Amino acid sequence: MPASKRTSETKKEKKEKKEKKEKKKRSSYRQLGILGTIPILIAVGPVVGYVIGHWLDSKLGTEPYLLILFLIFGFIATGKEVYKLIKRAEEETDKEDL
């Protein structure tokens, strides 16, 4: 095999390795971004439910029933969103492994 062909193959292999490494690095950052939103969701969901419930209770005079109801809705919505994010991160990992 000629030396020029060998060097072009090694250059090609090096380029492929570098691209693969960069792709894996981007994927890791993407997963970090996806999973990094979970603590924010856990904090915000119930707080939004509390605020809406408290506001409705003060307007309708139904304290504390709507506050409790919307707080529960906030926790449920948070749980669903966290589940979706984890599932999405798993799919990204599976796609990366292929």
Q: Where are the domains of the chain?
A: 37-98
Name the average pLDDT for the chain: 88
| Tens-digit pLDDT profile for residues 38-82 | 999 999 999 999 999 999 999 999 999 999 999 999 999 999 999
Rounded CA separation 89/27 (Å) = 10
Rounded CA separation 49/42 (Å) = 12
Structure tokens at 69: 């109801």
More confident residue, 84 or 16: 84
More confident residue, 6 or 93: 93
Q: What is the mean pLDDT of residues 34-41?
A: 93
